[in-house]
Amino acid sequence: MGTHYDSFRIYLNAEQSDTLTTGDTSTCRYPFIQNIEVPHMHHFVLKLAYAGIPISWYNVNSYNNVLELTAGATTYTLTVPIGNYTIDELITALNADAGNIYFTAAYVTLTNRVTIENTSGAAFSLSISASSGLLHSIGFANYGSIAYDFAIGETITGDWCVDMSYLRSVFITCPELSNPCLDSRTMRASNFIIGVVPVICGPNEIIHYTPSDEFYQRLSNTTINTLTIILVDDNNQIINMNNGDYQLVFDLRIVRNDDENPYAVDSSTYTTRWMQNNYRQPNLIGLHDARY
């Protein structure tokens, strides 16, 4: 039987994790060296306390580097090599693709939009598949299939401004949570999100984020010996972290099932009883005993 504690501070470093099916630090498992258990009629609750995440992903990646086009009767795909791009670099890559013999793209600084000009020498109908991941980056609507009657020399302009950010937030998910979140991205209860970290800096910098709320979420098991962390993007897709080494800190608490305020620890009764009956100095890698 594992030792009972009031609360822990858990430190997770991706470099010391077991990476799972992706072979990347975006999906990690953190095993503990012994089971942590709750007493009868108690349960675990967990809260993100700190995140240090390097911006090691590419803003053009396998999710958003393709344009699928139909020009007249010809269907072809433009694929931009994965990497970090400015909008000017992205437009250059699009125009350099050997398959692009129908139009020339340009970026207009004044409007912050992309234009596409028919430079093929012939009129044709241009259709862009809605599954084209690059649509959002270059500012073209990504709902339904887009079709244009494209006259010689005609120019069409993006529906909105370009967006080279790729993602605005990193969603930290933990499958060991007991209840999924209501998520507008999937229109249902899905994803066990334990924290949302805003992306507030640029490539090769590190996000340092400390949540201001005190929202704890219940874990599904009364015994834990591992935590699984998966980082997903704004579209609920696993982020390719390129094995970037992130650090996370969690607060783990044991609370009574019948607590009116389940996220408060009763230090006057439970802690004293625990210390009298169960105290043993912890010797857990990555766990810090933070009794209240």
For residue 243, with 0-12 CB atoms within 10 Å meaning exposed, 13-18 middle and 19 or more buried, which class applies? middle
Rg, the chain, Cα only: 25
Domain extents for the chain? 7-57+167-289, 66-157
pTM: 0.81
Fold topology of 7-57+167-289: Jelly Rolls (2.60.120)
| Residues 177 and 219: beta-carbon distance below 8 Å | yes
Could you give the CA distance from residue 130 to residue 107 in angstroms, rounded to a whole number? Answer: 21
* Cα three-residue angle 69-70-76, rounded to 5 degrees: 60
CA distances from 227 to 129, 173, 272 (A): 39, 10, 28
Label residue 202 exposed, middle or buried (CB < 10 Å: 0-12, 13-18, 19+): exposed
Tokens 């997903």 sit on residue = 232
What does the DSSP assignment read for 152-190? TT-EEE-SS-----S-SEEEEE-TTBSSPEEETTTTEEE
pLDDT in tens, the chain (292 residues): 333 457 789 999 998 888 766 678 999 999 988 888 888 888 899 999 999 999 999 999 999 999 888 887 788 888 999 999 999 999 999 999 867 778 899 999 999 999 999 888 888 888 888 888 899 899 987 655 667 788 888 898 988 999 999 999 999 999 998 877 776 666 555 678 999 999 999 888 999 999 998 889 999 888 888 999 999 998 889 999 999 999 999 999 998 886 544 444 443 443 333 333 433 333 333 333 333 2
Give the Å distances, CA to CA, from 56 to 21, 61, 173, 205, 209. 19, 12, 18, 8, 16
Residue type, 215: F
Cα separation of 197 and 168, whole Å? 9
Alpha helix ranges (H) inside the chain: 87-96, 135-138, 270-278
d(CA 140, CA 279): 61
Structure-token pair, residue 235: 């579209």
pLDDT digits (tens, 9 = 90+) for 185-244: 665 556 789 999 999 998 889 999 999 988 899 998 888 889 999 999 988 899 999 999
Amino acid letter, 60 = V
